Structure 1
Amino acid sequence: MKHRHAYLIIAHGSFDVLRVLLEALDDIRNDVYIHFDGKLEQLPTVRMEKAGLYILNQRVKVYWGDVSQIKAEYALFETAFYNGVYSYYHLLSGVDFPLKSQDYIHQFFLNNQGKELIGFSQYNVEMEVERKAGRYHLYPRSFRNNGLYKRILRSIFLRMQELFGIKRNGDVRFRKGANWSSMSASFIEYLIPMKYEVFKMYKNSFCADEIYKQTVCWNSPFRLKVFNSEDEAKGIMRAVKWKGRQVFDWTIDDYEFLVQSEFLFGRKFSDDNMEVVNKVFELIKPKAEL
């Protein structure tokens, strides 16, 4: 079947949302690949009727801000790419949810065939990406769960690199944006052979999952295929509830905004706010045949 889509899901919790997400993606034109965090001891029971469902055996222990996030993404890219033929690959979190029907989403990508939905931050990111990807970071697996000792050492080590002018990847033109993307088969094919180079480049970096795809795309012919490089949200067609620099969960109070927006997906939802998830699903799910 032509124009099949692969949905690549990184899941670590909120399994009530995940189960409804799978219902929303359960379409004969889709295959769904799930990477469950390697730290999970017990996996939820999930099933699909129409779409193909693949649970990755190669499970990475994912730590926020660490290169392990990129390794989980590559595990999904490779598994899907070598398993089937797809026109688009949608990278989602297990707490994302479609805001449009599968008919609408498939038609959107037919109308924009070959476009890359990769988001680019619009502010000046030069100093930020230099700090995140141009310096070495200690204890990269404990950015969120670190004690005072690790924070002090990390800060001192970064300051020493600044004082002595120690930089890495100095010849790379970095770009930054949201890591959740929808990419063509051509871009995935271009990205996969770079795997070990990417792992090496971003080892001991900070939040490079928001940097590596943008950097590869911007420094390649795919830069000309970007769907929207001037608006990050529209560039990935994902609605995100920002308050300052923090992302908040969508609630039932946001329902009208979500369903009236042009965005294809929303992030992020939670098990504590299933009312909005279920209500969006009722709107977008296929109508029963009479």
Structure 2
Amino acid sequence: MKIAVLIQCHKNAKQINLLLNKLNHPDIDCYLHIDKKADFEEQVIHRENVFVLPREKRVAVEWAQISQVKATLNLLEMATCSGGRYDYYWLISGQDWPLCSADAIIEFFEKAKKTNFVRYWDSKNYGTYKQNNLDKRNQVYFPRWLIGRKLWQKVIKRGWVELTGGYKRTWKVLERKQLGIKFYFGSSWWAFTRETVEWIMQYLTAHPEYYRFYENTTCPDESFFQTLVMLSPYADENTDYLTYLHFQKGANSPDVLRKKDMENAKRSGYLIMRKVDMDVDDWFLSI
């Protein structure tokens, strides 16, 4: 069993090094994408099972834009071309922390029997068959300059949503040309088998229009890979994802976990938790 852990990093080299040490195992290789806006590559551990993307493959990751998808694809490209044939590719964040040992992680994936781990739901969310804000993300064209967290972006974007029909519908005349496929949505974090990743990379090579379409959607990382898996021959091999996290109602990002969250995280049965920050609370280092 060989696992490629794909890690998206944007801050705190010390915490990332502790994560790499926690994952250090003969059957685990770690591939790091360090946000192009960050400058701590030289501070990261260098050893034979740690690979850092070269600067020309690093992306300035911006919230809700295609950049996070691009960073992930660059990680997959490096891992699949490295010569190592991995049984699993596991995407995590530099602010994640394992809830078990590296040996237990290997044992978990050995027992997984080629199951993909990704949380997803279809475009008519939660079985209600009513359009919602998730559907809107892909139905209308969003200029990339409009996607972001700045107040002016939020105001103009909301105006554009209302002009095109609001979150619960889209006027047909303003709907962008679709791909002719059913969209799925879910968590950005997943673990895919080698067969699934090989199919995804081949599909993207044969269908460049798929990536181009997602360049003008919002939060594409929460639909891009989920839809691909459900398009693939492995669509019926999906289960829940592997990450414990906690969202406040209506929040765009998960809470930073504190010591008070430890018992819930440990009882969850998940392999890893996010997000943690040793500059806020370093309780997780004792796990």
Q: TM-score, with normalisation over the residues of structure 1?
A: 0.85
Q: Is structure 2 residue 279 aligned with structure 1 residue 276?
A: no
| Aligned partners of 2:13 and 2:44 also within 8 Å | no
Q: Is structure 2 residue 126 aligned with structure 1 residue 123?
A: yes
Could you tell me which runs of 5 or more consecutive residues in structure 2 were left unpaired when the two chains were aligned.
166-170
Q: TM-score, with normalisation over the residues of structure 2?
A: 0.86
| Aligned partners of 1:65 and 1:141 also within 8 Å | no
Using the alignment, how far apart are the partners of 1:155 and 1:80 within structure 2?
Answer: 39
- Residue equivalent to 2:182: 173
Structure 1 residue 243: deviation in Å? 2.0
What amino acid maps onto 1:63 in structure 2? Answer: E
Identity, in percent, stands at 24
SS of the aligned residue for 2:174 comes to: coil
Q: Is structure 2 residue 235 aligned with structure 1 residue 243?
A: no
Structure 1 residue 240: deviation in Å? 0.7
Aligned residue runs from structure 1 range 195-274, under 5 A: 195=204, 196-226=208-238, 228=239, 235-246=240-251, 247-274=254-281
Structure 1 residue 189: deviation in Å? 0.4
- Residue equivalent to 1:288: none
* Greater alpha carbon shift after TM alignment, 192-201 vs 160-169: 160-169
- Residue equivalent to 1:56: 53
What amino acid maps onto 1:278 in structure 2? Answer: L
Using the alignment, how far apart are the partners of 2:42 and 2:280 within structure 1?
Answer: 19
What amino acid maps onto 2:157 in structure 1? Answer: R
- Residue equivalent to 2:33: 35
- Residue equivalent to 2:192: 183
Query: Larger RCO: Structure 1 or Structure 2 (Cα < 8 Å, ≥ 6 residues apart)?
Result: 1
Q: Map Cα deviations across residues 177-197 of structure 1 (whole Å, 9 max, x no partner).
A: 101001101111011123333
Tell me how large the CA RMSD over aligned residues is: 2.1
Q: Is structure 2 residue 157 aligned with structure 1 residue 154?
A: yes
Structure 1 residue 218: deviation in Å? 1.7
Using the alignment, how far apart are the partners of 1:252 and 1:152 within structure 2?
Answer: 37
| Distance verdict in 2 for CA 1:44–1:261, change over 3 Å | farther
| Distance verdict in 2 for CA 1:11–1:158, change over 3 Å | same
Using the alignment, how far apart are the partners of 2:246 and 2:191 within structure 1?
Answer: 19
Aligned residue runs from structure 1 range 6-155, under 5 A: 6-43=4-41, 45-47=43-45, 52-57=49-54, 58-83=57-82, 84-121=84-121, 123-124=126-127, 126-140=131-145, 142-144=147-149, 146-148=150-152, 150-155=153-158
Using the alignment, how far apart are the partners of 1:95 and 1:236 within structure 2?
Answer: 17
Q: Map Cα deviations across residues 184-241 of structure 1 (whole Å, 9 max, x no partner).
A: 0111101112333332120111001010111111222211111x2xxxxxx0121111
Structure 1 residue 29: deviation in Å? 0.9
SS of the aligned residue for 2:216 comes to: coil
